[in-house]
Amino acid sequence: MRPQSITQERFMLSIDHAAFTGDTAIKVAKPSAQFVIDKVRYVNVTGLATSASNFFAIQVLLGAAVAATWSTETGEEGTIAANTFVDLVNGVSPLRVGAADAEIILNFDETGTATLPAGRIVIEGRYL
């Protein structure tokens, strides 16, 4: 007897954000079914330099849990080259699973006086 294959419906969210000069949180989705975030990519036309004093932590949150992140702080993930996609670092598996009606939030946490130029985040996932 062959095992049955289970097809899960996939989703993709592509979100363009404006330039920011401070901490900013954007609610982008609230799926009505349980889901998991598989991959998050970020691109910025001008790029972002690594810094010890002027940096951004870019996060995808499921409520308060960090599902994926990238930081340009020295010693963290680092520089993002101009017009080049980077894969955000996924949180541990349980933190990437959202219950039905869990909010997906983009969080841009600024340290220093840096300006985050406009960019795009692409979130890929599937419904469970």
Mean pLDDT (whole number) for 28-55:
94
Domain holding 21, by residue range, is 10-127
CATH number for the domain harbouring residue 96: 2.60.120
Asked, for residue 1, whether it belongs to a domain, the answer is: no
Domain membership of residue 32 (yes or no) is yes
Beta bridge partners of 76: none
Q: Tell me, yes or no, whether 104 lies in a domain.
A: yes
Q: Is 88 in contact with 70 (CB distance < 8 Å)?
A: yes
Residue with tokens 């007897």: 1
pLDDT given for residue 5 in this prediction: 55
- The answer to whether position 83 is within a domain reads yes
At residue 29 the predicted structure's pLDDT band, cuts being 50, 70 and 90, is very high
**Lookup result for tokens 């990519």:** 41
Residue 55 structure tokens: 């940096």
Average pLDDT over residues 78-82: 94
Higher pLDDT, 34 or 8: 34
pTM for the whole thing?
A: 0.88
Mean pLDDT of the chain, nearest integer: 91
- State the total domains in the chain: 1
Evaluate whether residue 4 is within a structural domain: no
Q: What is the pLDDT of residue 114?
A: 82
Within 13 Å, how many C-alpha atoms sit on residue 84's CB side?
A: 8
- Which DSSP symbol is given to 94? G
